Structure 1
Amino acid sequence: MLTVDGIHVMCREWGCGNPASVVLLHGSAANSHWWDHIGPHLAIDRHVVALDMSGHGDSAHHAGYSQQRWAEQLGAVVGHVALARPVVVAHSMGGKVAYRAAVSGLDRKLAGLALLDANIAGPLSAGAAAAVRARGLRVRKIYADHASAVEAFRPFRSTVMPFPDLLRHIGENSITPAEGGWTWKFDPRTFIAATQPPPAVTRLRCPAAIVRAEHGSVLSDSGAHALIDGLGGATQLHVLAGSGHHMMLDSPRSLTAHLLRLLDEWG
């Protein structure tokens, strides 16, 4: 557990004591347990840390959320693990946060940045932003018992059905007791932060990789190539075969192998 600007941020770690390090960042409404089956494989010779952004998982809830505040939390975690220049791996909305942190100066401290199906440059349309804000104002649903809450867990935008045991594991770690039963750990108000306009795309001072899902990607072909142009010539573009948007759930073996190749390349 770290405290960043008075906010408690939960971290989960594997391979403590190894010199090289990796920081894993989840997407919207998710949490660090989405990496439970990935982190140990990356930690054979690395120190791997997965954090819960505030309002998610077991980190603190508070009055208001912003991508910049989450970026500061990521920067604090990087400082916590940085025995060597770490690699940050960030999924979906977490990719927007990681990119915001990178262009605020974190890229000087990184060995690499892997953005997993993250549309870091695309602002939401007016209609989409209104829908997201509406989700953020909803009252969290209460399930009568633990079993029905776990059974209800389904990743948003999923186009590929994850392994049932993996789905159950993450579901069990995504709920919390509430008055009248069980509910989701994430604070619905975190959705409102997703409507904030992205920073301008600019060249990074560390290597980067854009990893797109083969099915249901949030990145169009043209959008992906525009990112490559904006981020700089050293940026790689990959498509993870067989994967949907939630690639750590849809294609965990392929994603793990791909990340290990990137980690080896970036040292």
Structure 2
Amino acid sequence: MSDKKTDSKPDKKDLIRPLSALGGQKPPAPDWFEKAIATPSEEGAVEVAGARIRYSVWGEQDSEKGGRGLLFVHGGRAHRNWWRPFAPFFSENRRVAALDLSGMGDSDWRETYSLDLLVDEVFAVIDKAGLATRGRPVIVGHSFGGWVTLAAVEREGEKLGGAVVVDSPLGLPDPHEGYTVVKAKPADSGDAAGKKRSAHIYPSKEEMIARFRLLPNQPAEHLYLIDYIAREGLRPAQPSECGEQNGEGWTWKFDPGDKGAFEIHFERDLLRAARCPLAFIYGEKSAFAQGDGLSHLREQARGRSPFVMIPDAYHHLMMDQPLAFVSALRTLLSAWPVRFGV
């Protein structure tokens, strides 16, 4: 699942649960998908500020031929396996990795989170997974992961060969203050960072999968992809979490606490002062591909950064148009960024 920033919340009756009619059964999937998720990967972990950060890697590390390393960063409440159907398409001549940010997937939870810590995790995985052996690597971040990607560019973009932001919500920058994408909540707020929430426990995996939905709310056609990310995002509940359910149940992997409600701010209009090449991919039907913020972004990108719009795609565009997304990103990376030195 991804970030929860939407202009309006849909009524419960309007929520789209794509898998509800399947009763927990797996839908049929095409050969390309089955082949991709069956592609072997190296599994690893690196410790960052006391938390073990899990990652998967595809492709050879020591080959003298090939392109830059590539790191995929997932959205909010998601996990690295959102990228498993896609990463093998890029690993024939690249070292490719996907990580679980702390508090999500199989990585450890923290007492408190910050954007700076998430950037630390990104660079730690780049180093541990050997993504920089062929020169400065490229990061691709979706939604919340796009904010993390931009934060990495702002802080240490000179270490990167390029960064691709995929359908991340961005508003208009203040000419003096830069971007404040998410404001920190006051300490006395009922939703302030650090507030403890308990996980919602479901009696069965089948019920969880049937109730799975994308955030923001949107339709989904390729049910095999939705089913896959739902199954990879659940875990058996701990007995201490189950309460009156006799120690049995299932829940989602992400940290249910609202401890990620930190401020996300960028000091500058990033396109005018980027420390590495930037590119942008958006879904034509995405709520985030509308409005003044997107118009400003497109105007600033003109002549500076590639800007790709995927037709007939919503916010989760890789799930909406999977092969179009692969083709667009492959084409982008084949000709961009322009390579000078390493």
1:206 is aligned to 276
Tell me the alpha carbon deviations over residues 134-192 of structure 1, each in whole angstroms, 9 at most, x when there is no partner.
Answer: 9x754221110122222222221142314111111111110010033000000023x54
1:8 is aligned to 52
Q: Quick one: distance in 1 between partners of 2:196 and 2:309? A: 35
The aligned amino acid for 2:86 is: I
Q: Quick one: distance in 2 between partners of 1:242 and 1:194? A: 32
Q: Quick one: distance in 1 between partners of 2:118 and 2:184? A: 23
Output aligned runs, 1:1-267, within 5 Å. Answer: 1-17=45-61, 18=63, 19=66, 20-80=68-128, 81-83=131-133, 84-105=135-156, 107-120=157-170, 121=179, 123-124=181-182, 137-178=196-237, 179=239, 180-189=248-257, 191-200=258-267, 201-202=269-270, 203-227=273-297, 233-266=303-336
Q: Quick one: distance in 1 between partners of 2:190 and 2:290? A: 21
Q: Quick one: distance in 1 between partners of 2:126 and 2:303? A: 25
Question: What SS is found at the alignment partner of 1:104?
Answer: helix
Q: Quick one: distance in 2 between partners of 1:126 and 1:63? A: 16
User: Structure 1 residues 230, 5: CA separation in 2 closer, same or farther (over 3 Å shift)?
Assistant: farther
Confirm or deny: 8 A CA contact 1:34 1:248 kept in the other structure.
Answer: no
Q: How many equivalent residue pairs?
A: 263
Question: Where does structure 1 differ by over 3 angstroms across 4 or more consecutive aligned residues?
Answer: 124-127, 130-134, 227-233
Q: Report how far residue 221 of structure 1 moved.
A: 4.2
Q: Quick one: distance in 2 between partners of 1:101 and 1:257? A: 25
Confirm or deny: 8 A CA contact 2:180 2:263 kept in the other structure.
Answer: no
User: Structure 1 residues 263, 118: CA separation in 2 closer, same or farther (over 3 Å shift)?
Assistant: same
Confirm or deny: 8 A CA contact 1:11 1:50 kept in the other structure.
Answer: yes
User: Structure 1 residues 64, 126: CA separation in 2 closer, same or farther (over 3 Å shift)?
Assistant: closer
Of the structure 1 ranges 10-19 and 236-245, higher mean CA displacement relative to structure 2 is found in 10-19
Q: Report how far residue 69 of structure 1 moved.
A: 0.7
The two structures have a TM-score, normalised by structure 2, of 0.70
Q: Report how far residue 102 of structure 1 moved.
A: 1.0
Q: Quick one: distance in 2 between partners of 1:90 and 1:113? A: 8
User: Structure 1 residues 206, 197: CA separation in 2 closer, same or farther (over 3 Å shift)?
Assistant: closer
Bigger Cα Rg: 2
Question: What SS is found at the alignment partner of 1:242?
Answer: coil
Question: What SS is found at the alignment partner of 1:101?
Answer: helix
Question: What SS is found at the alignment partner of 2:169?
Answer: coil
User: Structure 1 residues 192, 63: CA separation in 2 closer, same or farther (over 3 Å shift)?
Assistant: closer
Q: Quick one: distance in 1 between partners of 2:281 and 2:190? A: 27
Question: What SS is found at the alignment partner of 1:170?
Answer: helix
Confirm or deny: 8 A CA contact 1:204 1:231 kept in the other structure.
Answer: no
Question: What SS is found at the alignment partner of 2:224?
Answer: helix
Instruction: Kindly report the root-mean-square deviation, in angstroms, between the aligned alpha carbons of the 2 structures.
Output: 2.6
User: Structure 1 residues 234, 217: CA separation in 2 closer, same or farther (over 3 Å shift)?
Assistant: same
Confirm or deny: 8 A CA contact 1:228 1:236 kept in the other structure.
Answer: no
Confirm or deny: 8 A CA contact 1:158 1:245 kept in the other structure.
Answer: no
Tell me the alpha carbon deviations over residues 232-258 of structure 1, each in whole angstroms, 9 at most, x when there is no partner.
Answer: 842222211111101121111111111
Q: Quick one: distance in 2 between partners of 1:232 and 1:132? A: 39
Q: Report how far residue 220 of structure 1 moved.
A: 2.9
Q: Report how far residue 79 of structure 1 moved.
A: 2.4
Q: Report how far residue 11 of structure 1 moved.
A: 0.5
Confirm or deny: 8 A CA contact 1:132 1:195 kept in the other structure.
Answer: no
User: Structure 1 residues 197, 85: CA separation in 2 closer, same or farther (over 3 Å shift)?
Assistant: closer
Structure 1 or 2: more helix by fraction: 1
2:17 is aligned to none
Confirm or deny: 8 A CA contact 1:7 1:54 kept in the other structure.
Answer: yes
Question: What SS is found at the alignment partner of 2:265?
Answer: coil
Tell me the alpha carbon deviations over residues 24-79 of structure 1, each in whole angstroms, 9 at most, x when there is no partner.
Answer: 00000000010111101111211110000000000011211111111111111222
Q: Quick one: distance in 2 between partners of 1:162 and 1:131? A: 37
